Structure 1
């Protein structure tokens, strides 16, 4: 059997994790496309039989060569160069869903179909149209495919089940989510004040931390509980459907995570929950002109109100939030 015609067959929900594993193993063939194998499985192109990645079967399959990119697909469909200038330059694959911003793009449905052709592991393309209100509810529209907005996304071994029409998921925060697993130690007690579907709770719990997780929104809370079970960490996650300020932290914790842009409004509760010498991680959307005075100043002021001090351990920009505004994190020890 020619290596150039091999394909590994996996269940469709496992495709994203399998591709990442095959890439790590060094046998994924990114010159050919992923395509459906049958109603429930997909064929992933490989250069050799995988020895470390769990697959259902390895078959001979003439998977077509991958076209060079979105522009090439649209150009082959007759798009003019002027229209191609308005085509999005980036998008994100989250499980079986492609998320894309098509604002100002002509014929977005055609772009959606082209993205499905480009990503055979996906079955739905959603247009991102913004985030509504303090609860950060996503506004999306189905552009192409089956229209199934519920999916399971895998990052660094952590599995996130979610409905992208109901809960927010930011692919640009991947490094920060994964990084929390490296920052905690096994046995640490952590208070995740804005847990969502488990963005930070899950990687920390998988690293051995005991996490008290608060989430007010019913849908996000449901996924938080389901995801703890999905990742086998339900014994290390104590989930509350409540405003984090109303959660009674009976024993001071080693670490507090505040992963919401309005988290500074709960800084007093966060400092009160921390043991002496505990660490606080404050996320904020900060105007570039106010880096780093505003986020650091807010942590210092909260500590001062509690009669405590602050040692800034790290401060970093996660990603751009909007024009002139950055998503930042301040890590601080509070003696």
Structure 2
């Protein structure tokens, strides 16, 4: 969908150049991040989006970057009902959440399923920074026993509800805790660790080998520039990990991308 095309002749050309055609859709909610120079055209932009995207009922503008432990932004209602609750559907799973209260990235759907299809029934999997459950629920649906750590109490409540909604509550243990306390909390080792680490949380990788059985797999996500990747691979090898796969999975800032690493404990 090309949002800008619907606004030609409505928004002046020099202002329209500042509008990104990319926006975030979670369930039936769209979230824009508008340049301040477009403040006078918010209604027109929101109306164009609703006209072009029939599955969207509410449009918000993100007016702050992610902030706080919940990793949420302050949102400004531009159009629609104003309710920030939604149900996001992804590969047959349903995730209930409040976009104003908890973090959710709908753009990682492919990654979540790429990881999930590698999981075997009977595995013991650890999911850190679990949020409302999109990295924890698909592995549980494939028969894994999952321990999911999440620091936000509100996200934990949604995770527990989503586990019930998707029929996997008996295979997911939800723990409201800081991921960095995992070694003290969990006196056990796992077959697999899934770690969609937030920006700036790379140091968590140092503790992961100690949480895995030999031959165990880590799926780790980090934010880096391309020229940093070779050095990063070497640092992981120094931890006793073999890098099986490294792939870029989305740009987040100029020259900075999200990278996925699949690694095995040697």
Query: TM-score normalised to the size of structure 1?
Result: 0.72
Match of 1:325 among 236, 239, 256: 256
Q: Tell me how far 1:92 sits from its aligned partner.
A: 3.1
1:219 aligns with 2:154: yes
1:122 aligns with 2:56: yes
Q: Which residue of 2 aligns with 1:232?
A: 167
**Aligned residues of 1:285 and 1:325 also touching (Cα < 8 A):** yes
Q: Tell me how far apart the structure 1 counterparts of residues 206 and 18 of structure 2 sit (CA, whole Å).
A: 46
Match of 1:111 among 24, 36, 45: 45
1:299 aligns with 2:230: no
The 10-residue stretch of structure 1 (220-229 or 258-267) with the greater mean CA deviation from structure 2: 258-267
Q: Tell me how far apart the structure 2 counterparts of residues 316 and 92 of structure 1 sit (CA, whole Å).
A: 22
Q: Tell me how far apart the structure 2 counterparts of residues 174 and 258 of structure 1 sit (CA, whole Å).
A: 15
Q: Please give the secondary structure, in 2, of the residue aligned with 1:191.
A: strand
Q: Tell me how far 1:123 sits from its aligned partner.
A: 1.8
Q: Which residue of 2 aligns with 1:277?
A: 215
Q: Tell me how far 1:69 sits from its aligned partner.
A: 5.2
1:246 aligns with 2:184: no
**Aligned residues of 1:192 and 1:213 also touching (Cα < 8 A):** yes
1:256 aligns with 2:193: yes
Q: Which residue of 1 aligns with 2:29?
A: 97
Q: Tell me how far apart the structure 2 counterparts of residues 79 and 194 of structure 1 sit (CA, whole Å).
A: 40
Q: Tell me how far apart the structure 2 counterparts of residues 237 and 298 of structure 1 sit (CA, whole Å).
A: 32
1:289 aligns with 2:227: yes
Q: Tell me how far 1:311 sits from its aligned partner.
A: 1.5
Q: Tell me how far apart the structure 1 counterparts of residues 16 and 241 of structure 2 sit (CA, whole Å).
A: 51
Q: Tell me how far apart the structure 1 counterparts of residues 220 and 176 of structure 2 sit (CA, whole Å).
A: 21
Match of 1:146 among 74, 81, 99: 81
Match of 2:143 among 208, 213, 236: 208
**Aligned residues of 2:151 and 2:176 also touching (Cα < 8 A):** yes
Match of 1:165 among 74, 78, 100: 100
**Aligned residues of 2:236 and 2:242 also touching (Cα < 8 A):** no
Q: Please give the secondary structure, in 2, of the residue aligned with 1:279.
A: strand
Q: Tell me how far apart the structure 1 counterparts of residues 118 and 259 of structure 2 sit (CA, whole Å).
A: 17
Q: Tell me how far 1:251 sits from its aligned partner.
A: 3.2
Q: Tell me how far apart the structure 1 counterparts of residues 120 and 111 of structure 2 sit (CA, whole Å).
A: 16
Q: Please give the secondary structure, in 2, of the residue aligned with 1:88.
A: coil
Q: Which residue of 1 aligns with 2:16?
A: 84
Q: Tell me how far apart the structure 1 counterparts of residues 164 and 23 of structure 2 sit (CA, whole Å).
A: 29
Query: TM-score normalised to the size of structure 2?
Result: 0.89
Q: Tell me how far apart the structure 2 counterparts of residues 171 and 197 of structure 1 sit (CA, whole Å).
A: 12
Which is bigger in relative contact order (C-alpha 8 A, separation at least 6)? 2
Q: Tell me how far apart the structure 2 counterparts of residues 240 and 195 of structure 1 sit (CA, whole Å).
A: 10
Q: Deviations over 1:127-180 (max 9, x none)?
A: 123211454222322111111111000111121111111122223222111212
Equivalenced residues, count:
260
Q: Please give the secondary structure, in 1, of the residue aligned with 2:208.
A: helix
Q: Tell me how far apart the structure 1 counterparts of residues 235 and 128 of structure 2 sit (CA, whole Å).
A: 17
RMSD: 2.1
The structure-2 alpha-carbon separation of the partners of 1:91 and 1:137, relative to structure 1 and needing over 3 Å to count, comes to closer
**Aligned residues of 1:264 and 1:298 also touching (Cα < 8 A):** no
